[in-house]
A and B are shown apart, each in its own frame.
Chain A
Amino acid sequence: MSAATGSGLPEARGAARLLDIRDLHVTYATGEGGLPAVRGVDLTVERGQIVGVAGESGCGKSTLASTILRLQPPSATVTGQVLFDGSDILTMRWGALRAVRWAGASIVFQGALHSLNPVHRIGRQIAEPIETHLPSLSESRRTARVGELLEQVGLDPDRARSYPHQLSGGQKQRVMIAMALACDPHLVVADEPTTALDVMVQAQVLGVLSDLVRDREVGMLMISHDLSVLADLCDKITVMYAGRVVESGPAKQVFAGPLHPYAGALSAAFPRVGDPAARFAPAGLPGDPPDPRNLTQGCSFAPRCARAAEECLPAEPPLETYDDGRQAACVRIDRTHRSSSGVETPSVETHRSSSGVETPSVEPVENPGETP
């Protein structure tokens, strides 16, 4: 596996996590001063684990994704640590960084439908990173590898000779995933991989992703604004708002019983089909997602929060960790382990069924995602 890198990436240490982001701050330099996109984020991903990052536009999730591979423009200020297998990506030497890019960690970008070069065949585009990282590989071995990758994502190997415009949206997305796997990375970052896809194709793509994680012990960081998709696929969910983490915990729990009011709103925005409470009761938040340039004093969510009070105003609430390991950054939550609706959330045990879909072994909570 790590033979793919071949240039100094340290062997995976037993103790080191696959990805450990510590106190990351990313500020873009614009004409009118700094734009703080990420304001102190901690995040970890283990091998074989899928971690979801949920949030909307302006929350900093895409910035987070591209920072993992140090893809920020030089004018951006980045502080903190991004430890990949123990080594800090932000301070790596150029050679080591190049080795990590794609062979250690890869990204499936948002808007995959537009990320493919329309004038090259897709086989060639998938082979490109292989060529870069394994220049010694022969032509025939490369072609064989491309065929393998296409099969892994559920496409016919003959499709390597097609041009992007001959593929459908779902197929293009799968090509992007194949490309991300080309060099056998340990970590795959997927930025809104199913956003533009139909629900059936989305199910197929998510199936591919979860099989991947299960079969190859790959770690995955999945970014989406759709909390229900994340709840289905991920082990752990981190919710971001205005550049900070506002809630973090096991996926099913966060979706079914969110602590932070914003996480609650996000969860309610995707009503469960079949839930009588969601009939003719669309739930949304007033106002708009925050502009990173104009953040208010105190809790950045306060302007839109139904539970905002005096205590929310002086300072940004810190991320508190509760007894069961869940975290939330809200001063209006009861300190004992209670959800913000006052209902105690039971712990939900999960099993992975053979199709890779998690099925809870306990009854889901009565009023999921209700914001008081």
Chain B
Amino acid sequence: MTAELSAEGVRVEFTTRSGRVARALDGADLVVRGGEVLALVGESGSGKTTLARTLVGLTTPAAGEVRWKGETLGRSARSLKALRRDVQLVLQDPLGALNPRHTVYDSVAEGLRIHKLVTKTGPSETERVAAALSAAGLRPPEALFLRYPHELSGGQRQRVLIAGALALQPSLLIADEPVSSLDASIRGEILALILKLREELGLGVLVVTHDLGLAWNIADRIAVMYLGRIVEAGPTEEVLTAPQHPYTQALLSVVPEMDRLEPIVLHGEIPDPTRIPAGCRFHPRCPALASGEADAVAHLCRGTALPILPSDPEGHRSACHLVAQRVSTPLDHRGAPLDHRGAPLDHRGEGTP
């Protein structure tokens, strides 16, 4: 069985102080495979970090399930521990993510000790720590054994974090904003490291980021999130050169120095997750709807909610009524096709007269 971490229909909710229910994640299907870099892109409030945390079991979903190698993830401490041996999370903010009182050696060896991976016959703990630090690009590793996090530079800290994850020899790595807190000139090295890990170790990597340029740089596939749902997913080249969903188009157009696209600056901000708009959740801000381009499906955009975008490891899909109309036919809330007037098509695919 290939290393595959998947989420199906995962929903994460929390109750705000005023008693309303906020949906941080409102139904997502995602598959992360070995040997592939998948970028999960979105703005703050999109749910991307929540999805990443749910995949590692740090957040318990209110609905849906997470599967690792085909088996559903239980909530017991034991099954979570087993998952965490194979799927490692690398947090953003390397300075905060390392215990200031632990040396680099201790931080990297921690995982080995928790999972009791050092056997009497295999490599010693010291050797494994050195190997992990080398794999993360810190050479000679011994020089850093006794250093503390505050004595290291930002780039070195991030590598130590990655080394801590590599020490467990995981199959998948989930990196949350791996370079956003680093200086611009050293980002390239960390990104090159991630690519190298994919090449040499066959790791699958899920990169959570708000930076489309980063996705273009290192991702094979990309999934764009908005307000708790994945709205578009597919191969990076396709999605970022020919985006289907109006949100993706807008997002791409405002990336600085995106000269080939006229900038579409959306009005307002991402809505409150306690008040998700009816119908398509993007419709109040959708430029296609506002400009009249989506007039044919406007009633669907406003009234019919879209189904969860199924995870398609090879294709390019979008959760959008307009796109569905262009591609084939519009969909109702169950994903069944409708004709251009919004009436259901009969089983032969013809509309009612």
Direct contact of A and B (CB under 8 A): yes
| A200 to B154 Cα, complex, angstroms | 27
A280 to B184, Cβ gap below 8 A? no
A26-34, A176-184, A222-230 - interface stretch = A222-230
Contact A273 B213, CB 8 Å, known A56-B185, A225-B183: yes
* B218-234 near A? 1/0 per residue, CB < 8 Å: 10000000000000000
Max chain A Cβ within 10 angstroms of own Cβ: one of B44, B156, B236:
B44
Tell me the nearest residue of chain B to A286, going by C-beta: B189
| B contact residues around A275 at 8 Å (CB) | 216
A7-15, A69-77, A124-132, A202-210 - interface stretch = A202-210
The smallest C-beta distance from B308 to any residue of chain A, in angstroms, reads 24
* B3-17 near A? 1/0 per residue, CB < 8 Å: 000000000000000
Q: Is B251 an interface residue (CB 8 A)?
A: yes
Max chain B Cβ within 10 angstroms of own Cβ: one of A200, A203, A255, A262:
A200
| A268 to B185 Cα, complex, angstroms | 9
| B contact residues around A201 at 8 Å (CB) | 43, 269
A282 to B187, Cβ gap below 8 A? yes
The smallest C-beta distance from B69 to any residue of chain A, in angstroms, reads 27
B251 to A226, Cβ gap below 8 A? no
Contact A355 B263, CB 8 Å, known A198-B210, A226-B256, A231-B257: yes
B251 to A199, Cβ gap below 8 A? yes
A279 to B213, Cβ gap below 8 A? no
The smallest C-beta distance from A299 to any residue of chain B, in angstroms, reads 16
| B contact residues around A359 at 8 Å (CB) | 259
| A contact residues around B58 at 8 Å (CB) | none
A207 to B217, Cβ gap below 8 A? no
| A265 to B186 Cα, complex, angstroms | 10
B255 to A284, Cβ gap below 8 A? no
B217 to A271, Cβ gap below 8 A? yes
B257 to A288, Cβ gap below 8 A? no
Tell me the nearest residue of chain B to A227, going by C-beta: B184
| B contact residues around A347 at 8 Å (CB) | none
| A357 to B192 Cα, complex, angstroms | 32
| A contact residues around B191 at 8 Å (CB) | 282, 284
For chain A, the count of residues having a C-beta within 8 Å of the partner chain is 51
| B contact residues around A269 at 8 Å (CB) | 184-185, 187-188
A170 to B269, Cβ gap below 8 A? yes
| B contact residues around A355 at 8 Å (CB) | 263, 265
* B231-246 near A? 1/0 per residue, CB < 8 Å: 0000011001100000
A200 to B265, Cβ gap below 8 A? yes
**Complex partner residue of A288 from B186, B215, B241, CB under 8 angstroms:** B186
* B195-218 near A? 1/0 per residue, CB < 8 Å: 100000000000000111101111
Q: Is B296 an interface residue (CB 8 A)?
A: no
Q: Is B266 an interface residue (CB 8 A)?
A: yes
A255 to B257, Cβ gap below 8 A? yes
| A285 to B153 Cα, complex, angstroms | 14
Q: Is B254 an interface residue (CB 8 A)?
A: yes
The smallest C-beta distance from A87 to any residue of chain B, in angstroms, reads 35
| A65 to B73 Cα, complex, angstroms | 52
Tell me the nearest residue of chain B to A268, going by C-beta: B188
**Complex partner residue of B212 from A169, A229, A273, A281, CB under 8 angstroms:** A273
Q: Can you list 16 A-B contacts (CB < 8 A)?
A: A57-B183, A168-B269, A170-B269, A201-B43, A272-B257, A273-B216, A274-B258, A279-B216, A282-B189, A282-B195, A283-B188, A284-B187, A288-B153, A288-B186, A289-B185, A357-B263
* Given pairs A228-B257, A232-B257, A273-B252, 11 additional interface contacts (CB within 8 A): A199-B255, A201-B43, A202-B254, A204-B265, A279-B217, A280-B218, A281-B217, A282-B195, A282-B218, A284-B187, A304-B185
Going nearest first, the 10 A-B pairs with the smallest beta carbon separation are A284-B188, A282-B191, A203-B254, A198-B43, A228-B256, A56-B183, A232-B256, A285-B185, A269-B184, A282-B188
